[in-house]
Amino acid sequence: MLVKIEQKSILDIEADVIIVNLFEGVKYPGGVTGIVDKKFNNVISDFVINKEKFEGKFGDIYKLPILESGKKIYIAGLGDQEKFNYTKIRDLTAKIVRNTDGSAKKVVSILHGAGIAGLCPRRCAQMITEGAISGTYSFDKYKSQKTKTQIEEFIIAEIDGQKYEKALKGVNDGIIVARAVNNARDLINESSQYLYPETLAKYAEENSGVKTTVYNKEEIKKMGMNAFLAVGQGSVHEPKFIHMEYKPQNPIKKIAIVGKGITFDAGGLDLKPPASMLTMRDDMSGAAAVICTMKAISELKPDIEVHGIIAACENMPSGSAYKPGDVITAKTGRTIEIDNTDAEGRVTLADALAYAEDLQVDEIIDIATLTGACMVALGTVASGIMGNDDTEIKKFIAAAEKAGERFWQLPMFEEYGETLKSDIADTKNTGGRMGGASAAGIFLSSFIKNTPWIHLDIAGTAFLEKADSEGIKGATAIGVRSLIKYISELN
Ligand code: BES
Ligand code: MN
Ligand code: ZN
């Protein structure tokens, strides 16, 4: 689907569907909705609002046929004006796109939010663009009957010159972000039967948009990443270490983003029960977010040097698998006693974080489907965030909020580390279920010397059983929007 913006009246753009809007309780629409109402003999105010009692509740869509032309006007409810925000613009647009009649090929929309609501035209346009493209998403490659929408063109109409100029930038950014999001969803939804370290690495080489180096098992061994290798040693698939680099001319800052890349997490010898294992192809959601963020960064071209890092492997039980009680020496020299082979993500990240720190970046962010405990704490509503630098954490939460994603800070009190004490090694990889998200954070922090670091735990938000407010089931690609926004704001 093509999304674009035209500096014209909504009535002067040829389309099968015209989308206008209405705040809850408004009886006589103003702005563009008012213009459309007048043009069609007050059909919106007299018929839709007065007779049909359309109230403009958020997400309600009234579909009004224009008899002589065969076109339709959709009146989209914006809900309570006080509660209206940017995320709602995206959710609403996605819903409209999902619910547009099959035959409609060309749709024209009002720039929701930039009228009486007085929101920033650029951000409104970005949200509409993201919603429109997100609304077309479905993972249907293995279905004979495709569910994708037939809409070919989604046009935003904005006649005001100043608003148009700002909104145009929002559309361009929105296209880049939304493509990154949908590509990450495709990667995550893909079966692990086809998506394993080698194919993930190949995807990165072909699609990250930046210089990508892939290291094989021998090379990983030479770099001393024994913790990472231990996790992957039970699989028939060889582990791969992926390093993507975006290097602008004169970077004002250097950062590394590190994604957990377990292409399937069976739990290892501490095998997961069936219900928990079912969706574990999503355990590379962090890696997918990193690859697709790199692609977006290569297009947005900020003056920030960005390294994308992934230690990709599969966590399987087998005769060669790593075992509870094994002691492994990580890249930093720190030794890990394996307490539970299912706490594998942190073991791979220990080496990936050390590799990132060796690059002498100013900041490291990791993103990982790390703990069931984080999912228990925050549900699917918010992702966890921790780290060693409160200022950066606050900045990240604020950037994420603007991008329409929610992060909630979890504590890193020293006491959470007590359970990780080992009798035979420097640390155990886990010490029980209580406070598990924080304990995992403490574990990770012990592999970073002094670089500012943020840890994102997306275990609860990466993959959904029930459709979210954008109508997305399965992979959400959580983190992509926040990472892009955060990095853009460093500029
Ligand atoms: N990949 C899982 C975490 C996870 C759980 C992600 C649910 C998405 C949904 C991780 O590797 C894991 O198995 N963690 C264990 C750690 C435990 C053994 C300390 C967990 O959370 O149960
Ligand atoms: Mn696990
Ligand atoms: Zn895992």
Query: What is the rounded distance in angstroms from the CA atom of residue 136 to the CA atom of residue 148?
Result: 6
Is residue 386 within 8 Å of 441, Cβ to Cβ? yes
Cα 353 to ligand 3 centroid, rounded to whole Å: 16
Looking at the chain, the domain(s) classified CATH 3.40.630.10 span 191-489
Is residue 447 within 8 Å of 227, Cβ to Cβ? no
- Which residue has 């957990």 as its token pair? 260
Looking at the chain, the domain(s) classified CATH 3.40.220.10 span 2-184
Whether 173 is in the pocket of ligand 1, judged by its Cβ within 6 Å, is: no
Q: What pLDDT, on the 0 to 100 scale, is given for residue 359?
A: 98
Is residue 268 within 8 Å of 429, Cβ to Cβ? no
Which one is catalytic: 123, 295, 346, 428? 346
Using one digit for the tens of pLDDT, what is the confidence trace for 325-336?
A: 999 999 999 999
Is residue 241 within 8 Å of 250, Cβ to Cβ? no
Q: Within a 10 A sphere around the Cβ of 148, how many other Cβ atoms?
A: 10
Among 3.40.220.10, 3.40.50.720, 3.40.630.30, 2.60.40.60, name the CATH number for the domain at 2-184: 3.40.220.10
Q: What pLDDT, on the 0 to 100 scale, is given for residue 238?
A: 98
Radius of gyration of the chain (CA): 24
Burial class (CB in 10 A: 0-12, 13-18, 19+), 248: middle
| Residue ranges of the chain with per-residue pLDDT less than 50 | none
Whether 342 is in the pocket of ligand 1, judged by its Cβ within 6 Å, is: yes
Is residue 322 within 8 Å of 199, Cβ to Cβ? no
Q: What pLDDT, on the 0 to 100 scale, is given for residue 147?
A: 76
Q: Within a 10 A sphere around the Cβ of 317, how many other Cβ atoms?
A: 17
Ligand 1 pocket test, pick from 269, 371, 444, 478 with the greatest ligand atom count within 8 Å of Cβ, gives 371
CATH number of 191-489: 3.40.630.10
Using one digit for the tens of pLDDT, what is the confidence trace for 376-393?
A: 999 999 999 999 999 999
Pure H helices in 159-278: 161-189, 197-207, 217-222, 226-232, 274-277
DSSP characters over 271-327: PPPHHHHTTGGGGGHHHHHHHHHHHHHHHH--SEEEEEEEEEEEE--STTS--TT-E
Ligand 1 pocket test, pick from 337, 342, 420 with the greatest ligand atom count within 8 Å of Cβ, gives 342
Q: What pLDDT, on the 0 to 100 scale, is given for residue 258?
A: 99
Q: Is the pTM above the cut of 0.85? A: yes
Q: What pLDDT, on the 0 to 100 scale, is given for residue 433?
A: 86
